[in-house]
Amino acid sequence: MSLYVGIDCSTQGLTLQVLSVDATARRDAGAQRADWKIVWQHVVNFDRDLPQYGPRYGALPSADPAIVHAPPQMWADALELGLGALASSGLDLTEIAAISGSAQQHGTVYLDAAGGFSRATSPIWMDTSTSVECAEITAALGGPNAVAQMSGSRAFERFSGPQIRKFWKEDPAAYARTARIHLISSYLASLLIGADAPVDVCDASGMSMMNLRTSDWDPGALDATAPGLRAKLPPIVPSSTVIGRIAPKWRERFGLPAADVVAWLGDNSSSLVGIGLSEEGELGISLGTSDTVFGIMREPRVSPDGIGHVFASPTGGFMGITVFANGSLARERVRDMYGLDWRGFSDALRFTPPGNGGARMLPYFVPEITPHVPVPGVQRFNLDETDVARNVRAVVEAQVNAMKTYSAWMGVTVRKIYATGGASGNPEVLKVMAEIFGVEVVRREVTNTACLGAAIRAMQSQRTT
């Protein structure tokens, strides 16, 4: 019996899962879901468990809706709480063979030479305050298409490169003091191994600074972002790399073994593994704080309209992904606006017809990534604000219609959809998805497939042969 640990640090919390695998079962990429089982799970919720940092839905309240930061020490504390919970889980810790993780993508952590924070707070993926920096980087690199062909995406506000450039412009002295800039994934991986961790190739794809064809930092993009940046960035490694072992600090503190640590990924790439996507034509739809639609791509076909992104895929090759900021946030706003619980929300979907009798909503409760709507606003068409059931269907249909429209750029014929994330537990939402896409929608029972993907990748690193 061996145990494999997955950790996912998402926008609102940090989840741990443990997989148990028989000595005789396969552990490589051919392992089936029957070969392992989840024996333990734990969630650290930032708002509930780390209130001393003052987060709301995992981020710091801000007067300017475009600025969304979180305290990096909160993530470090969450990791410590999570490992402490693992230590008291009752599992035989000596059986832990490997551990890996994932984190919300794009956010950046700034460290000085002594390992302290040179930027007190970290911009996260919901930050939309870097339009000027995106334009500057784009102009320096020869236009949006040139940036997209090189990196897989045009420069997006939430991507790490524009975040770094803004920091350099606003506080050049603190930028100069910065010795290392990590992604959230590589920052937490560093804490786990007690050394400076590399960035994995999938998460590096969301920074506007990695050349998708060489899988290395692009010198022109680094120059366009900030001076002296190369020395401040970790190296990029394949996502299956064993980057170290659980640090002595955690072994002494919690009795954890010196198990292998596998490179940490961005949450969507890790989710692709957790869902089990293996070929073009299967789409994963994750209904979380953000909604994301993603699938494997054999060739890096970049969106001609600059809509989504091509990232390196942890399965080799590439993945296409489109991201919507108004995911569970918008569903929760509508639910709360009408004083419903999730059962009431489902009933509203059940008792309204597909197409909603023409009632429509544009549900931009926060600035939207896809399509680009920088100033939030909600508009109703042929829809009375007091009509509870139709408002519920209108928000869900708007979201799923946007998913279909804005994932067409991937150029794949969709044959099957795997749904994951909190709202995938609602069969009525999946029914709307099946109606609009016109294909079978399968629910993955494990809602945090990013975390599961991390545990599976940890398992795959320990081949039986």
Binding interface with ligand XUL (CB under 6 A)? 10-11, 104-106, 125, 158, 206, 266-268, 290, 292, 323
| Nearer Cβ to ligand XUL (53/159) | 159
Pairing assessment for the beta strands 416-420 and 282-287 based on DSSP bridges:
parallel
Buried b (16+ CB within 10 A) or exposed e, 29-51: eebeeebbeeebbbbbebeebbe
Residue 116 Cβ, how far from ligand XUL at the closest point, in Å?
Answer: 26
**Kind and range of the H or E element at 337?**
helix 328-337
Phi, psi of 405 (to 5 degrees): -60, -45
The residues, any chain, with a CB within 8 Å of residue 83's CB and separated by 6 or more, are 250, 253, 254, 256
152 or 198: whose CB is closer to ligand XUL? 152
Distance CA 142, CA 127 (A): 25
Q: Please report how close the Cβ of residue 104 comes to ligand XUL at its closest, in angstroms.
A: 3
Distances (CA, A) of 419 to 279, 309, 447: 16, 20, 9
Pick between residue 244 and residue 266 the one whose CB is nearest to ligand XUL: 266
Tell the smallest beta-carbon distance from residue 267 to ligand XUL (Å): 5
| Residue 354 vs 374, nearer CB to ligand XUL | 374
Q: Least Å distance between CB 56 and ligand XUL?
A: 16
Pick the closer one to ligand XUL by CB: 105 or 391.
105
- Closest C-alpha among 130, 206, 214 to residue 164: 130
Q: In sequence order, which residues have a C-beta less than 8 Å from that of residue 297 and are 6 or more positions away?
A: 280, 310, 313, 317, 318, 319, 320, 410, 412
Q: How far is the CB of 311 from ligand XUL (least distance, A)?
A: 8
11 or 178, CB closer to ligand XUL? Answer: 11
Beta carbon nearer to ligand XUL, 8 or 260: 8
Nearer to ligand XUL, 305 or 385 (CB): 305
Question: From the CB of 327, what's the least distance to ligand XUL, in Å?
Answer: 8
Residue 103 CB, shortest distance to ligand XUL, in Å, is: 8
Residue 290 CB, shortest distance to ligand XUL, in Å, is 4
Which of residues 203 and 397 has its CB atom nearest to ligand XUL in the complex?
203
Q: Tell me how far, at minimum, the Cβ of 272 lies from ligand XUL, in Å.
A: 12
DSSP helix/strand/coil, 283: strand
**Closest of 138, 118, 335 to residue 224, by C-alpha:** 138
The whole-angstrom separation of Cα 443 and Cα 441 is 7
DSSP 327: S
* Type of residue numbered 87: A
- Give φ, ψ of 274 to 5 degrees: -65, -35
Rounded Cα–Cα distance for residues 386 and 117 (Å): 48
